[in-house]
Amino acid sequence: MVTVADVRTRVSSFAGAQVGEGDSPIAITIAPTDWLPLAVALRRELGFGFFSFMSAVDWKEDGLEVVAWVDNTDARLSVLMKTRLGVGVTNCASLVSEYRGANWMERECFDMFGIRFEGHPDLRRILLSDDWVGHPLLKSYDVDTPYPPYR
């Protein structure tokens, strides 16, 4: 059965990875270049097969951050993966090859934040209509932004 120590040991092999203090979840902050390799390691070596969600946070001047949560249902462990994309960067690696659930979650991140996921087979808007302008969950997008009425 995979333990917290196993996870910490494996993750520490990634350069620049910071692992948080707590055990549930194990919060791992990692560089964007290691985003997909971390997911590969978690799913294939450590048994974190349950993909809960993926989202993004807009930290204004500090850029965007992509977060994902995966679980190991047998060991009852949870991992929160985070990566800061950097100021002005809107690209990120796609996790679709590892977790099929990332398909719709990444489309939602694209729709709401404008993050383009490299390697995603079908990156288009999912919740808003195809002709929507702007990405609503960015802090620069005002809540009262007017939009044309639908016919």
Partner 1 sequence: MAAEISPRIKTELDYAGAERLTMNMGPQHPSAHGVFRAILTLEGETVVEVDAVIGYLHRCHEKLAETLAYVQYPSIASKTDYVAAMTSEHAYVMAAERIAKIDVPRRADYLRVLVAELQRVASHCLWLGTWCMDMGGALGGGATIFLYCIRERELVLDLFEKLTGARLLYGFHQVGGVRYDVPAGFAADCRQTIDLIEARLLEYEAMLEDNTFFLMRTRGVGVISRELAQEVGISGPLLRASGVDFDLRRDLPYSVYPDFQFKVPVETDGDCLARYTVRMVEFRESISIVRQILDGLPEGPISSRPGVKAVAQVRVPKGETYTRVEGPRGEVGCYLIADGGPRPYRMKWRGASFSNLAVLPFIIPGHSVADVVAIMGSVDPVFGEVDR
Q: Are 28 and 18 in contact (CB under 8 A)?
A: yes
Told to check if 52 binds partner 1 by CB under 8 A, we report yes
Cβ neighbours of residue 90 under 8 Å, at least 6 residues apart? 64, 113, 114, 115, 116
Q: Please identify which residue in 8, 19, 25, 114 interacts with partner 1, judged by CB under 8 A.
A: 25
- The residue with tokens 């989202």 is 55
Told to check if 126 binds partner 1 by CB under 8 A, we report yes
Stretch that binds partner 1, among 5-13, 29-37, 69-77, 84-92 (CB under 8 A): 69-77
- As beta bridge partners, residue 10 has none
Counting residues that bind partner 1 (by CB under 8 A) gives 32
Q: Please identify which residue in 7, 78, 93, 110 interacts with partner 1, judged by CB under 8 A.
A: 78
**DSSP letter at 115?**
P
Cβ neighbours of residue 80 under 8 Å, at least 6 residues apart? 20, 25, 26, 27, 28, 67, 68, 69
Told to check if 18 binds partner 1 by CB under 8 A, we report no
- As beta bridge partners, residue 26 has 79
> Among residues 116 and 125, whose Cβ is nearest to partner 1?
125
Told to check if 113 binds partner 1 by CB under 8 A, we report no
Q: How near is the Cβ of 65 to partner 1 at its closest, in Å?
A: 9
Tokens of 22: 């707590």
Tokens of 126: 């999912």
Site string for partner 1, 86-105 (x = CB under 8 A): ------------xxxx-xx-
Query: What's the residue count for the chain?
Result: 151
Residue numbers at the binding site for partner 1 (CB under 8 A): 24-25, 49-53, 55, 57-58, 67, 69, 73, 76, 78, 80, 98-101, 103-104, 112, 125-129, 136-137, 141, 143
